[in-house]
A = this chain, B = another copy of it.
């Protein structure tokens, strides 16, 4: 397996991070997870824009331009013989090495790493989930950024898995619905489809954005709003979205069945239309 690390394509055995990388010591960095279909990166402009904005907010220089960035990914796919296949890849950017303590070095020399994997599209199985006792912190700007600060999500997923469940749903600290451990959430109600607004402390997901646009261009009413826990539990259908699972139906929350435990019609329709987006690449 070949990895891109700071300008070089190296094998996974050669790829070495420095002991004092602030990504490792302080979660001082960001990442993106993307997919490509036969070498074509899906939604690359949106991913690059979010990544660039997050880097800018954190003050981490993102040296490659849009086109250079895309060239690196194209080359990485080639190096791994994934340019004719479907792949997923992760881009990680950190503030690089630094001295002891929180304060960044004056001259930041960022770490940029990319890894790629073969990825077969499968229809995700219906999820049975719980409401997590951990809350999403809408008072932190990181709630809107795909940062390396991911341990809450790791713990919450583990706790759900321990109970035999697939995932969990975070409420924010006000008790409103936020997201899953690595996905946005949508619900289908009488008036249309509803997803929490960004201000509730959620990641502005790229797949979330595509679903919103898909609904708008097909005259399906879609709302970005506050969702209470009670509203969610009374929804007709619920689904998660992210780059890898795409659209995953949720059929159970705690002991409550959603849509009588069956995958709903709206989810099936969305899955079908979403599929066409990347087939048409």
Besides A27-B150, A102-B182, 8 more A-B contacts (Cβ < 8 Å) are A19-B113, A26-B150, A28-B150, A102-B181, A103-B161, A135-B140, A137-B173, A142-B151
Which residues from chain B contact A17 at a C-beta distance below 8 Å? 16-19, 21, 24
Given known pairs A17-B16, A17-B18, the reply for A24 and B26 (CB within 8 Å) is no
- Asked if A241 is an interface residue, CB under 8 A from chain B, the answer is no
- Asked if A192 is an interface residue, CB under 8 A from chain B, the answer is no
Which of A17, A58, A115 is packed against the most chain B CB atoms within 10 Å? A17
Q: Which residues of A from 134 to 156 have beta carbons under 8 Å from B?
A: 134-135, 137, 139-142, 147-155
In this complex, what residue of B is CB-closest to A90? B100
Q: Which 10 A-B pairs have the closest CB atoms?
A: A135-B139, A16-B16, A27-B27, A173-B173, A15-B19, A137-B137, A17-B17, A26-B150, A24-B24, A149-B151
Nearest CB of B to A279, in Å: 24
In this complex, what residue of B is CB-closest to A24? B24
Q: Are B100 and A88 in contact (CB under 8 A)?
A: yes
A173–B152 Cα gap in the complex (Å)? 16
- Asked if A23 is an interface residue, CB under 8 A from chain B, the answer is yes
As for how many copies of this chain the complex holds, the number is 2
Q: Are A154 and B16 in contact (CB under 8 A)?
A: no
Interface flags for A16-42 (1: CB within 8 Å of B; 0: not) read 111111011111100100000000000
- Asked if A157 is an interface residue, CB under 8 A from chain B, the answer is yes
Given known pairs A15-B19, A134-B139, the reply for A28 and B100 (CB within 8 Å) is no
Q: Are B19 and A115 in contact (CB under 8 A)?
A: yes
In this complex, what residue of B is CB-closest to A244? B101
- Asked if A274 is an interface residue, CB under 8 A from chain B, the answer is no
